[in-house]
Each structure stands twice: as structure tokens, then as C-alpha cells.
Structure 1
Amino acid sequence: MTVLVIGANGRIGRQVCALAAEAGIPVRAMVRHRAEEPLFEEQGIETVQGDLEGDFHEALAGCDQVLFAAGSGPHTSADRTLLVDLHGAVRAIQFAEEAGVSRFIMLSALRAADPLVGPENLRPYLAAKYAADLILQRSALPHVILRPGKFTDDEPTGLVTTDTDQSPGVDISRGNVALALFTALRNPDITDREIPLVDGDRSVDDVIR
């Protein structure tokens, strides 16, 4: 079982790769530049070059799962958000279908289901995530869509909740998001689920599994 991690050099992607490598799960980190490779190779993680704004279908060769953890964020122009978060994600889904992967795990966003309620500077990003999620849901791929709240750099607690209406806030540490993605990744029986997630009081394992 080899997992292609798209967005591996992001702050969440790096953590997921490290957790997988420590657990002995083969992962392949997709990076844009050769200068990013040593970070992963030092951990025994395979790397492959690929660019969401270019052709990256060969990166999926031999992989049976794809984790899409790429994200342009609120400070990227709307046109690049379309290319990365929408077009890049849609092509990753198409390439995964063509490659016959067993599951596609998507890192989305809590407000993606209703982009217009999000902050104005995030709406293009949320709209792109919404469209990519919809295409994944309508594809033939078994999938998991994780919809975390607002990222923080707090230390991971391993405690989260899906009850976002009752939660006092919508924050979640990047470390907890990485733990949730890793938990989904190592449990192949979890399929066709959309999971909202913020920091809470239940263990990641309980919530994801």
C-alpha cells in the first residue's frame, strides 16, 4: 500500500508524511522542487516531482491511495486558487480514477459546503473546495472528505469533535488535522464519509473510526 501525498510540503502534509513513515506506512511525497526532497528522504520517504499546475499523472504510478492535502490559502490570487484548489484537485481525482486507486482522501474546509458564509477573502478558496468535493462525491472513487475548521499552530491534543454547532469555536490545530488524516489513511475500511472537525474533547481515533 503506497499513498501519494499531494501537498506533502505543506504544514499539514509534512506531519502526515512523518506520522506515516514512523508507522511504517509507505508514502510518496509529491513535491514541486528538488530542493524539497531532502526533508523527506532523510525520513526514508519516497519523493516524486509534480506540479498541480502542470502534468503530474505519472506521480500516481503504483499508488493505491491518494491524499490531497494541497491548499492555496487566503492570500493566493483567485485565478491561482482555481488552478490549484479546483483544477488541480479535479485532475487528481481523474488521474486517481484512471489509475484505479482504492481510495481518495481529500482535505477540504469546514465552510466549503456554503462558501458565501465564509470570510470574503476565503470565498474563492471555499468555492473551489466545494466544487472539488462535489466532483469527488460523484466520482466512482471510495473517498473520505475531511472538513476542518480554522487552522492554528497550537500543539496537537489528539482531541476533536464533529459537533461543530455545539463547539465553542471553529479552531483546530494543524497537528490534530494531521492526526485525523493519518487515522483515516491507516484505516482503509473508512469510505464515503464527509467529516467536519474542530478541536474538542473526543479522541481522534474515536471520531474518525
Structure 2
Amino acid sequence: MEKIVVAGATGTTGNKIIDLLNESQYFEPIAMVRKESQKEQFESRGIKTVMADLEGDVSHSVNGADKVIFAAGSGGKKVKEVDEQGAIKLVDASQNSNIHKFVMLSSLGADAPGEADDLEEYLWAKHNADEHLKGSKLNYTIVRPGSLTNDKGNQKIKLSSSLKEQGEISRDDVAQTLVRSLNDDVANKSTFEIIKGDTLIGDALDKVQVENSVI
């Protein structure tokens, strides 16, 4: 089984990612936590943890892991420190540790943050982190969802390299998309946007892979 470090494991979306990985026959989750007090919620279920703070040193956090999902966020409080620099540091650590794939949770609008009506600082942070990942030597998938909701997912999405529209999507379906993107034959070195739609997540991701093969 491949060991997957999840940054942002204690968040709402991160918790869903951990659950999916824990149920998988292919992946073993490792929850990245900032505090000792956060370990129990994972270790009580037999889920491994690693102590690391995205505002500090994360160079050790991916040692022995195979792949990484970055699903952390500061909630708008420390956008530069966490959403941008934290992600960049984790990308660098992953590159130094020969991580096989890095899956980045980004945001719709991160391709053109200067055009945003609001959240411009946040979108610039996501944009800069995404660009750093693209410029690394890592295999990657960058997932840019619309506004996140707590609605129950239906495992159906609308996916495109550029949607040209705003929209919502459940955290359930975002977590499913991120976890499925870990597979070796899915969406390699790809960036795409997703909102709620009518296409099964697996079928949508297969289309990304076909497009990449054509290119």
C-alpha cells in the first residue's frame, strides 16, 4: 500500500480525505498535525500521524511517504504563510524526498487572480503555490474546485481545464476527486477545474488522461 501524507488532515475536507484513504485497499493515510492534542483523533483509529507545522519546518514530514495531498488552508487568516509558503515548502520537501505524486487542492480563479472581484489575496497565494508545483520536478495534479459546500456528494462533477463559469461543489466530491487523482494513471501533470455536474468522477478523470495522451 502506498503511504499518503495529507496536509490539512484536521480540516473538514481533509478529514474526508483521510476517511477515504483509510477505507482504500491501495492507500495508507498519514495525517499531518500541528499539535500533540490533534494526534488522538487519528491514532485512536489506527491512522498514523506526522507532526509538522506549515508555518515552520516541514522538511521531515514526507520522509518514507509515497505521495502527498495538500488540502490545508488558513481560512483567510494566514494566506501568505500557509496557503502559499506552506504549500511551497511542502512541494520542496516532496521533491527532496522523491515523492511520486503531489495532489494540490487549489481553487477556481487561481489561474487569473488579478481578475477576481474578491478573495484576490487568497487566489494569488493559490496561484503562486500552483506555479511552484508546476515548475518542480514532481508529478502532480492540481484540482481547482468552485465554492465548497457541505452538501452530500453524488460523485458527479463537471470538469474542464477552464470552466469559464462559477459554481459550487460538495466537499465529498472534492475529496473523492483528490483521492482518485493519486492513481498513477490519472491526470498526471494536469491542472483542471471542477464544479457540481453530471459526469461520474472516474469518467471525468479518464477524459483528462486521454487529453494528456493526445497532447
Task: Give the TM-score normalised by the residue count of structure 1.
Answer: 0.92
State the 4+ residue runs in structure 1 displaced beyond 2 angstroms. Answer: 116-120, 163-167
Partner of 2:184: 188
User: How far, CA to CA, are the matches of 1:100 and 1:166 in structure 2?
Assistant: 35
Partner of 1:72: 74
Q: 1:166 to 1:125 in 2, by over 3 A?
A: closer
User: How far, CA to CA, are the matches of 2:189 and 2:38 in structure 1?
Assistant: 32
**2:17 partner letter:** V
Equivalent residues of 1:73, 1:125 under 8 A apart? no
Can you list the C-alpha shifts for 1:44-86, whole angstroms capped at 9, x where unaligned?
Answer: 2101111000112111110111111111234x2xxx2111011
Equivalent residues of 2:3, 2:30 under 8 A apart? yes
1:143 aligns with 2:140: yes
User: How far, CA to CA, are the matches of 1:208 and 1:7 in structure 2?
Assistant: 23
Q: 1:165 to 1:100 in 2, by over 3 A?
A: closer
**Secondary structure, counterpart of 2:181 in structure 1:** helix
Match of 2:159 among 157, 162, 186: 162
Deviation of 1:183 after TM superposition, in Å, equals: 1.0
Partner of 2:170: 173
Partner of 2:83: 85
Equivalent residues of 1:18, 1:43 under 8 A apart? no
Give unpaired runs (5+ residues) of structure 1: none
Which structure shows the higher helix fraction? Answer: 1
| Percent identical | 35
Give unpaired runs (5+ residues) of structure 2: 207-215
Partner of 1:123: 120
Equivalent residues of 2:163, 2:194 under 8 A apart? no
Partner of 1:200: 197
Deviation of 1:42 after TM superposition, in Å, equals: 2.8
How many pairs does the alignment contain?
Answer: 202
Deviation of 1:165 after TM superposition, in Å, equals: 4.1
**1:29 partner letter:** A
User: How far, CA to CA, are the matches of 1:157 and 1:42 in structure 2?
Assistant: 29
**1:130 partner letter:** H
Task: Give the TM-score normalised by the residue count of structure 2.
Answer: 0.89
